[in-house]
Structure 1
Amino acid sequence: MAGNYYIITGASRGLGESLTRRLLQEDHVVYGLSRTENREVAAFARSGGFKYRYRPVDLAFPEEASKVLHEILSDIPSAEAGTISLINNAATVSPLTDLSSCSDEDIVRNININFTSPVVLQSTFLRMTSDSVKKRMVVNITSASAQFPAGGMSLYCSAKAGLDMLTKCAALEQVGENPVKIIAVDPGMMDTSMQSTAREANIGLSDYFKAQKLEGKLKGTDAVAKEIISLLGRYLLEYRGDGEHIQKSNRID
């Protein structure tokens, strides 16, 4: 029986870890990409006999990321793949400061992780899977920050806005044979280490983030992962293969 393959960036923690665990439990094949391996996830996969493949990659270097994805896609037997999905999940909020205080290196690193690498990975994915699997999906994890400007978060907000627009434009291009489903998903505010970093920073929204935490309004990553996987399942089930595209961000409430 054909299997479902998922390639997830930022798979070692937060939402990426939760997506990885849940997809493995549903007996899918998961390739996890991150700078460092989460040993607990690896042990979880071994103990459950799940199909997990870890690949080290630093998304601050887009060409390296493309090379790793190329190796993964070359490794997947197309005859056994019912669907292949790329989930661009990895992100960083650092540096959290005024743009004038950001170093050149910090700017390049932020944009590479949040925007350039997702662009490169998506391009590589579209190119390499065009003649292999009929059901393909690209999922770009976005943020409300793409729509709302925030002082001290100019790089993160700008990169997420770019990723939103990339999703819309790339989806419009899927009009030929064997099109790819390309969607953006806004998971909402979650209780993650990235949120903790934003709360502790000295920026305009820090007090707001602290209040959201104190009032219990941050969502758990496991619950969000469950909703996202359900959403992806519906899209794959309804996959028409006729160039249908999604131009809005799917928000997880």
Structure 2
Amino acid sequence: MKNDAKTRDELIGEISRLSHLIEDRLVPDNGMTDDQLRSELGLLRDLAEQLSESETAKVLEKPAPSGRVESYQRIFANSPISFSENDMSKLQTFFTGIRHSGISDFRWYFEHHPEAVAKCAILVKRIYVNQATLQLYGAGGIEDFTDGLMSIFHEESYRVFREELIALAEGATSFEKETVVFTLQGERKDIYLKIMVVPGCEETLSRVLVFVVDITDRKDAESMLEEMRKMLIRTSSKSIDGNNSKREG
């Protein structure tokens, strides 16, 4: 996590540096101050600290035994981290059916059968969700997820979910990735996803823990940085062209 935190600190530093350059050379009256930029992007460091120092990281690194899954629910009931427990046993049954048909290459199968990926999204059953999960997806209660993951998925979501399915089918007990989901109201969210199969449930996938961190603001910050870079490049190009014109005149 230290390297992750360093990356985000460097991002903030670069935003600060570029903001001064742009303010001085492009739009001196834009009203955007360095303090405002730092305030907006402070979430990046907060997120790194939260993931490295909070109970979340400790629990992620050392899962509780199957009989203590309720402890997860107590820990994360009021956590700002989205936490849910899913029953993926129907996925395991689906994987078994594929194997019985003589197919062992799950990557080939799911890449050539996108309809199977969509079907698997429906087979996931949510057993428990905390308040942060409801807020993240704009849901009123767990009953809003009766269609599995379909209501929150996007094209990019399916690509990552396919990788998750392949990992689980091949026996992996954890998976993590950045992906995209949508709230029930249609608002896009960039998220960091981590899933863990509860020890003792590897054969059935009946209890799978899912942690989600909303990184939309971080993505917005990265987009801002890219725009600022483009602005600086355009400004530098115009400045060079202007100087050349003056010399020629």
Task: Identify the TM-score tier after normalising by the shorter chain.
Answer: under 0.3
Q: TM-score, normalised by structure 1?
A: 0.24
Relative to its length, the structure with more helix (as a share) is 2
Q: TM-score, normalised by structure 2?
A: 0.24
